Amino acid sequence: MKKFILILFIACAPNPNSVEVVGKETYLDLMEKQFQIIDVRTPTEYQEGHIDNALNVDFKSADFIKNISKFDKNKTLLIYCRSGNRSGRASKIMDSLGFTKIYDLEGGFMNW
């Protein structure tokens, strides 16, 4: 029984390698690979300026999980917010939903 619980726990545990916080230079290199970019700031923040080709999925929205779940969990995603706080929390949620690879911009849009 203990082995079964351990196997179940390992199978359901988040992937520690699915989220990586990267600096601007690495983020720029990843953008060249045409990965989807997601801005998790509010629509107002997004309208004030955003990274080219980024889609806005508001982390503060009640529908965040529903909206983020529409993306392919097996594709690499680039994510950012204003400072790195919301995108860090969003990345953890996405990891728990089964997303396999997420790159989070260190320092967020303020570092852009």
Amino acid at 42: T
- Catalytic residue chosen out of the listed positions 81, 90, 94, 102: 81
CA distances from 65 to 3, 28, 61, 95, 96 (A): 32, 27, 9, 12, 11
Asked about 12 being catalytic, the answer comes back as no
Q: Which two tokens stand for residue 23?
A: 């600096």
Amino acid at 60: K
Provide, for the chain, the percentages of residues in helix, strand and coil under a 3-state DSSP scheme, each rounded to the nearest 5. Answer: 40, 15, 45
Task: Please state the length of the chain.
Answer: 112
CB 57 within 8 A of CB 93: no
Which residues participate in catalysis according to the annotation?
81
